[in-house]
Amino acid sequence: MENESFKECLVEHKGGGALKALQVLLIAITVLLAILGMFNILFWIVAVATGVGAYFAKLNSNLEYEYLYMERELQVDKIMDKSRRKKAANYEIGRMEILAPFHSYHLDDYKNRKFDSVKDYSIGEELQPDRRYIMIYDGKQKVILSPSEEMVAMIKRDAPRKVFTD
């Protein structure tokens, strides 16, 4: 249900190419070790370990992020392989310093600042035009997002001096 104080946005993360290659490699090693396991039990143990590694590589190579904006709070959930959901972060808009496009001149004052952490909940690649945004949160955290235009407009309505759309 969409209304004026609630907005939801789903973003597919496209940065999992290396993890997909790792998954294929781990599956091949698992099969090879399972065949060799007929001769030695140690190969079976290693085959199970590489199979588990392939499973986790698969989970993390197919990522989506869901943004939920409601009551001046942005919640980010991580959806792995379209089957597992995990709460990634909660951001109160009152503690946000700025939200601006990735290459905005409004972020120039923050370029040399050291952050405690940098979180990337975006699509994971630069498209043309680049629709990613950077949020500086609580002075300590840099958050990269790919919100919809409607979500940015809603956040701007609640914090007009902190949100820029250049």
The answer to whether residues 133 and 145 touch, using CB atoms and an 8 Å cutoff, is: yes
Which pLDDT score, from 0 to 100, does residue 1 have?
A: 40
Q: Where are the beta strands (DSSP E) in the chain?
A: 6-12, 63-70, 73-80, 84-92, 96-101, 117-121, 133-137, 141-145
- Characterize 30-47 residue by residue with b for buried, 16 or more Cβ atoms within 10 angstroms of its Cβ, and e for exposed: beebbeebeeeeebeebb
pTM: 0.77
- Rounded to an integer, the average pLDDT of 139-153 is 93
Q: How confident is the model at residue 16 (pLDDT cuts 50, 70, 90)?
A: low
Domain ranges of the chain: 6-14+62-158, 17-61
User: Which single residue is written with the structure tokens 């290396």?
Assistant: 18
Report the distance separating Cα 121 and Cα 154, nearest Å.
19
- At 86-143, the pLDDT tens digits run 999 999 999 999 999 999 999 999 988 999 999 999 988 787 888 899 999 998 999 9
Which pLDDT score, from 0 to 100, does residue 61 have?
A: 77
